[in-house]
């Protein structure tokens, strides 16, 4: 049984695998927004918008 969360930006349903773990990154299939799993409960999964980490490949 998979879990569903709503994308805050485009209101799409994002399917989350049952074995999801805290800290996992989820991408909205509709708009591409990245979310981070902050809590997993029996009722569902709490997500927050993932912080944008600027990757620095300058070295």
Which residues contact Zn ion (rule: CB under 5 A)?
A: 7, 9-10, 12, 28, 30-31, 33
Output 8 or 40, the one with its CB closest to Zn ion. Answer: 8
Q: Shortest approach of Zn ion to residue 33 CB, angstroms?
A: 5
Specify the residue, 30 or 49, whose C-beta has the smaller distance to Zn ion: 30
SS3 content of the chain, % helix, strand, coil (to 5): 0, 40, 60
Measure CA 25 to chain center.
Answer: 5
CB of 27 vs Zn ion, minimal distance in Å: 9
């Amino acid at each position: 049984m998979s879990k569903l969360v709503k994308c805050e930006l485009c209101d799409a349903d994002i399917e989350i695998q049952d074995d999801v773990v805290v800290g996992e990154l989820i991408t909205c299939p509709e708009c591409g927004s990245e979310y981070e799993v902050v809590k997993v409960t029996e009722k569902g999964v709490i997500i927050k918008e993932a912080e944008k980490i600027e990757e620095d490949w300058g070295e």
